[in-house]
Amino acid sequence: MARRVADELVLDHHRVSHQIRYDATTSPQTQIKFMTDGVLLRELAQDLTLTKYSVIIVDEAHERSVNTDVLIGMLSRVVRMREQRWINSPAGAAAPRPLRLIIMSATMRVGDFTKNTTLFPTPPPVVHIGARQHPVTIHFNRRTVQDYVTEAVKKASKIHTRLPHGGILIFMTGQQEVQTVCRKLRQKYGPQAASRLANAQPERQPVSARVADTEAEEMELGTEETPVIDEADVDENPDDEALDSEDEMDDLADSDMPMHILPLYSLLPTQEQQAVFDEPPPNTRLVVVATNVAETSITIPNIRYVVDCGRSKERHMDPRSQVQSFHVSWISKASAAQRAGRAGRTGPGHCYRLYSSAVFEEHFDDFGVPEILRIPVDGLVLQMKAMNIDNVANFPFPTPPDRGALQQAERVLVHIGALENKEAFVGTKRHIHATVTSLGRVMALFPVVPRFAKLLAQGHQHHCLPHAIAIVAAMSVGDVFEREESLYVPDEEDPAAAKEARRAVRSKYFKKLHTFDALGDGLSDAFRLLSVVGAYTYDAARGNSVQFCRDNFVRLKAMEEIHKLRAQLSSLVVANLTGLSEVDTVALQQPELSPPNPTQCKVLRQLLCAIYIDRVAVRADIVAAPEAELNVRAPASKGGARGIPYVALGIPGPVYLHRSSAFFQRAAPEWIVFGEVHRSAPKEAVVDDEPPPPTTTWLKMLTRINPAWLPTLGRSLCTFSQPSETATAEALSASMQSIKRGEGTSMQRQVLLTPRYGGSMQDGAAAGGLGWELPPIKAKQVLVHGRWTTQM
């Protein structure tokens, strides 16, 4: 973007710069800077009035990410602050000029900003600018089919065989669907299929109904009543009735022209993503099959036809249990408009929606749900507390988060030590107020989620910091390995040979995973990531990074991002952590990563336990939970943790270890902490008036722990029994003898306490509110003002 704007304005590239998470081109000559919302938020933390900026433009505001919402709330205050300073500054003083704030979007719910008096006491002016877009005709299906993947292939086939030349953009919900559509289209219209067709049929033949069904029930609104973006005039439209023809003997334009088919999704390597911007080969039609990354983020040139399935895959998270699930659901009307607009960038276009107009009107929301209402806000709360915004609930959000979600975020931050509860009195009423700790202020300096930030802040123990940074970088990027369902299998004409090829690829895939599990005896899934990062750094230093990723089923794009994030986090750690040893400082400057020794592996497991202290799970039979009776999911002969039920803190019902975990084929551990919880979608269809089919909850990113660590690392989640009677009597006798000998005036005793973990209702109500019993621990008690006080 910065390069394009510089070229269009005929400016030097030093005057139009960009700054993102891993890269920056800014200089003292910079006049226009493109940056992410996260970068600007961090600048706000350093300079609340943003004195070096005169105009700030927040674009694509309709996406409503958490960072964007917080940024707009902060900027609304900065605008008023800068204005007051300008008005109150004495004559001749060098005060910064008032800040101008522009919030932009093509499809934005303007009322969230203009009618929100907490955000803007005086409604800001609304400026409408006509879009520089060509007319786009919208076509609805008369019926909405459930198999939208097959319907998308059929629609693309009909466009390709019946309509004039122009690129096709097909929207699907996820990577697997994208690859499925690409494969089916290549089988029909890829270069090889086209050559076979040309050899078999020298003369042009009409397309059969199997390839391009006439679909007489289809309705395409191509008249003057057609919904058209920007109400453009489309009276002279040669394509309105093209797909509605029932005459199979029509002259099918370009039916023998091959398609140039490209996938586009976020996990695709950057080089392959860039291919959609390249000119397609001569005499081919460009077909891009994409997820919603193509909705607003990029503009693909020469797209004339859009096929919209009307759905997207979104992550939903239960605010209390933190269980994640991915649901394919209808998009919003705003998103549908954005998708349709992709067809009108370079000329008149068409959008074919694979759903009816009735479904669009009745089941599509006007706008999507803001991200701040869909995800945990613990990182948001920590950042705002670190900026001395204590009452987060009163902050001027465009859409305020749920108060229950804010309370849950504060509890999580208290458990991991970023916040501490303090008593405060307002009159005679006592209030519990959460304030940021010194550890929390350090955690807020790192651009990762609070749990990972704690791992960075405490990772210097036993020189584990380089390994802690590598683990955090890998877990932040995610999806290091290729997914099993997307493994490449060579095309085989013989079905038996194809099946054998798939089996061989899967066997090699799991052998590679098992190889990386050797580090640390497979006691943590994080060690698998650490092993991959270490091996990659070794090969990358010798120029073999691409071959390493290809041989080990590792995503090159992910490893490149991890490498950049490691460098960024290392520099931040050196700049912000005091007391680092010279050994740590030198190690952080080395790109290669040496394997941790056994002591460091144990320390890393303890650190992982500390950051996931409220995400503890125990094998159901260990705590005699009712779920222990459910061990019927897999034959015992298969061994390992497959099908073994666990009970997890704060998650109702049984949970199971995910098949991607290193523990899946190993002996089931007794106590673990987990990083992610996923609920799989039911395999059976939901029938009206019947209870929904059962789902399964899976735990991912697992680490085996010693339950004896929990009372120390998770004190806020523990309750303690009365001291052991035998220990108390012995300690009391020893204390009395000590006083008689004149050796002390205070009474102390060593006692045995039995901790119980996670029993409170707010923290998960483990074991029905009693908590899980942990091994007894020794503690010292001191008699203070007639009461025994425990010192851990």
Q: Is residue 129 part of a domain?
A: no
- Average pLDDT, stretch 225-232? 34
Q: Are 361 and 321 in contact (CB under 8 A)?
A: no
Whether 621 is in a domain gets the answer yes
Q: What is the pLDDT of residue 608?
A: 96
The residue out of 415, 443, 471 marking a domain boundary is: 443
Say if residue 219 is in the same domain as residue 186: yes
- How confident is the model over 200-214, as a mean pLDDT? 39
Whether 141 and 290 share a structural domain: yes
119 Cβ contact list (under 8 Å, min separation 6): 72, 73, 76, 113, 396, 397, 398
Count Cβ atoms below 10 Å from residue 229 Cβ, excluding itself: 21
Across-strand partners of 425? Answer: 430
* 285 and 310 share one domain: yes
pLDDT of residue 504: 85
Q: Which residues of 237-284 form beta strands (DSSP E)? A: 259-264
Name the domain count of the chain: 6
Q: Which of 645, 673, 705 is the last residue of a domain?
A: 705
Q: Is 758 within the bounds of a domain? A: yes
Listed residue (703, 715, 714) closest to 603, CA to CA: 703
Q: Answer yes or no: is 401 within a domain.
A: yes
What's the DSSP call for residue 28?
T
41-50, 313-322, 633-642, range with the lowest pLDDT: 633-642
Distance separating alpha carbons of residues 226 and 138, to the nearest angstrom: 6
Q: Tens digit of pLDDT for each residue in 628-670?
A: 776 544 444 356 788 899 999 888 889 999 988 989 888 899 9
Query: Where are the extended beta strands (E) located within 155-194?
Result: 167-171
List the CATH number of the domain containing 219.
Answer: 3.40.50.300
- For the record, the structure tokens of 587 come out as 């190690």
Distance CA 137, CA 223 (A): 9
User: Beta partners for 18?
Assistant: 34
Question: What mean pLDDT comes out for the span 243-252?
Answer: 45
> Among 120-124, 309-313, 718-722, which is the least confidently predicted range?
718-722
Q: Are residues 625 and 605 in the same domain?
A: no
- Residues 195, 274: one domain? yes
Domain boundary among 680, 705, 730: 705
Distance of alpha carbon 225 from alpha carbon 420, whole angstroms = 61
User: Residue 275 has what DSSP assignment?
Assistant: G
Same domain, 678 and 759: no
Q: What DSSP element (H or E) covers 609?
A: helix 598-611
The tens digit of pLDDT for each residue in 153-189 reads: 999 999 999 898 899 999 999 888 999 999 899 988 8
Percent of the chain having pLDDT more than 90?
Answer: 30
Mean pLDDT of 515-529: 91
Measured at the alpha carbon of residue 107, what is the angle toward residues 24 and 314, in degrees to the nearest 5?
75
Does 578 score more than 50 pLDDT?
Answer: yes
Mean pLDDT of 288-314: 87
Q: Is residue 200 located within the same domain as residue 99?
A: no
Q: Which two tokens stand for residue 384?
A: 């705002």
Residues 760 and 727 placed together within one structural domain of the fold: yes
Domain of 313 in residue numbering reads as 136-366
For residues 65 and 76, is the Cβ–Cβ distance under 8 A?
A: no
What pLDDT score does 246 carry?
A: 42
Q: What pLDDT band is residue 322 in, cutting at 50, 70 and 90?
A: low
Arithmetic mean of pLDDT, 668-697? 72
Cα 616 versus chain centre, distance: 22
Q: What is the pLDDT of residue 297?
A: 63
- Listed in sequence order, the residues at least 6 apart from 479 whose beta carbon sits closer than 8 Å to its beta carbon are 267, 555, 558
| CA 683 – CA 680 distance, rounded (Å) | 9
Q: Are residues 313 and 341 in the same domain?
A: yes
The Cα 170–Cα 130 span in angstroms is 26
Best mean pLDDT range from 127-141, 291-305, 515-529: 515-529
Residue 451 has pLDDT above 90, yes or no: yes
Region 218-230: mean pLDDT is: 34
Structure tokens at 191: 């270069």
Tokens of 189: 């219209």
Answer yes or no: do 73 and 151 share one domain.
Answer: no
- Do 553 and 652 share a structural domain? no
- Lowest mean pLDDT of 299-308, 313-322, 343-352, name the range: 313-322
> Is 496 inside a domain boundary?
yes
Q: For the chain, give the mean pLDDT.
A: 81
165 torsion bin: left (phi>0), alpha (psi -120 to 50), beta (else): beta
User: What is each CA distance from 519 to 382, 598, 641, 672, 702, in whole angstroms?
Assistant: 34, 10, 19, 18, 14
The pLDDT-based confidence of 782 (bands split at 50, 70, 90) is confident
How confident is the model at residue 688, as a pLDDT?
46
Domain membership of residue 699 (yes or no) is: yes
Q: Is 442 helix (H, G, I), strand (E, B) or coil?
A: helix
| Banded pLDDT at 198 (limits 50, 70, 90) | low
In degrees, to the nearest 5, what angle opens at C-alpha 625 toward C-alphas 622 and 627? 110
Residue 371: inside a domain, yes or no? no
Paired with 57 in beta bridges are 102
256-270, 383-397, 715-729: least confidently modelled range: 715-729
Neighbours of 526 (CB within 10 A): 27
- Look at residue 192 and tell me whether its pLDDT is greater than 80: no
CB atoms within 10 A of CB 221: 15
pLDDT (0 to 100) of residue 239: 46
Question: Residue type for 171, please?
Answer: F
126 located within any domain:
no
How far is Cα 289 from Cα 266, in angstroms, rounded to an integer? 12
Helix (H) or strand (E) holding 329: strand 324-330
pLDDT above 80 for 372: yes
pLDDT, residue 637, reads 38
Which residues lie closer than 8 Å to 292 by C-beta, 6 or more apart?
A: 171, 312, 331, 335, 339
- 74 and 202 housed in the same domain: no
Contact between residue 207 and residue 255 where contact means Cβ atoms under 8 Å apart:
yes
